[in-house]
Chains A and B, each alone.
Chain A
Amino acid sequence: EAQVTQNPRYLITVTGKKLTVTCSQNMNHEYMSWYRQDPGLGLRQIYYSMNVEVTDKGDVPEGYKVSRKEKRNFPLILESPSPNQTSLYFCASSWASGSSYEQYFGPGTRLTVT
């Protein structure tokens, strides 16, 4: 089944403890992206990647890192999480880089930082 998977789905952590949220897609998609969803704000892009080893900042990149060593994986790293990073995170992928392609989303990761 074609899908985007994320792990973990739920995570409660403490301020400053490094964590990684994994994202993997099995559709051979070139483009991958991370968004965060906050009440009343919709979804906002954190980072994106147009292909292996090509990543760039989105609209809200502060406090996050990403890497794209393989085409299928695009982990999101929070080196020192803070409470304002409590959010619902979505990974997305699309077949190629371009504004016309629909993005397919993972199931989401609900992160709480205390």
Chain B
Amino acid sequence: AQKVTQAQTEISVVEKEDVTLDCVYETRDTTYYLFWYKQPPSGELVFLIRRNSFDEQNEISGRYSWNFQKSTSSFNFTITASQVVDSAVYFCALSEEMDSSYKLIFGSGTRLLVRP
């Protein structure tokens, strides 16, 4: 069955530290998409990145980087030189080509607290 696991419930770091948020997924589909969303304290969900199952190239966007490894079914997210504004709940999500509902299957989220 499809599933997304974010084992880290909460992480606390001091500003300027690097932090990695883990995401492990399960799927039987060969074509699927992985996403990361950010939920700041204000509550909205902000799209960060999408990756398809055929593209294992890592991606960097400013202080954010993502490491996709099919061999370990992981799609980890690293924030370099964290800032207080990075404090939020981060969700990893999976969408499967075979699923006709096209729903996003979310992990339970990781709450990141960046202390000044």
Contact = CB atoms under 8 A, between A and B. Distances in A.
A42 B97 contact: no
Interface residues of A, number: 30
Contacts of A108: 43-45
A105 interface: yes
Nearest to A101: B102
Interface of B: 4, 31-33, 35, 37, 42-45, 47, 50, 52, 91, 93, 95-97, 99, 101-104, 106-109
A33 B103 contact: yes
Nearest to A48: B101
Given A43-B104, A99-B96, 11 more contacts: A40-B108, A41-B108, A43-B91, A88-B43, A92-B104, A97-B102, A99-B31, A100-B50, A100-B95, A102-B50, A107-B43
Contacts of B31: 99
A64 interface: no
B91 A102 contact: no
A99 B43 contact: no
Interface of A: 31, 33, 35, 40-45, 48, 56, 58-59, 88, 90, 92, 94, 97-108, 110
A35 B37 CA distance: 14
Nearest to A99: B95
A31 B104 CA distance: 13
Contacts of A92: 45, 104
B43 to A, nearest CB: 5
A104 B47 contact: yes
B44 A42 contact: no
A56 B102 contact: no
Given A42-B108, A43-B106, A99 B47 contact: no
Nearest to B95: A99
24 contacts: A33-B102, A33-B103, A35-B104, A41-B108, A43-B106, A45-B101, A45-B104, A48-B102, A90-B45, A92-B104, A98-B102, A99-B31, A99-B33, A99-B99, A99-B102, A100-B33, A100-B50, A100-B95, A101-B102, A102-B47, A104-B47, A105-B37, A105-B44, A107-B44
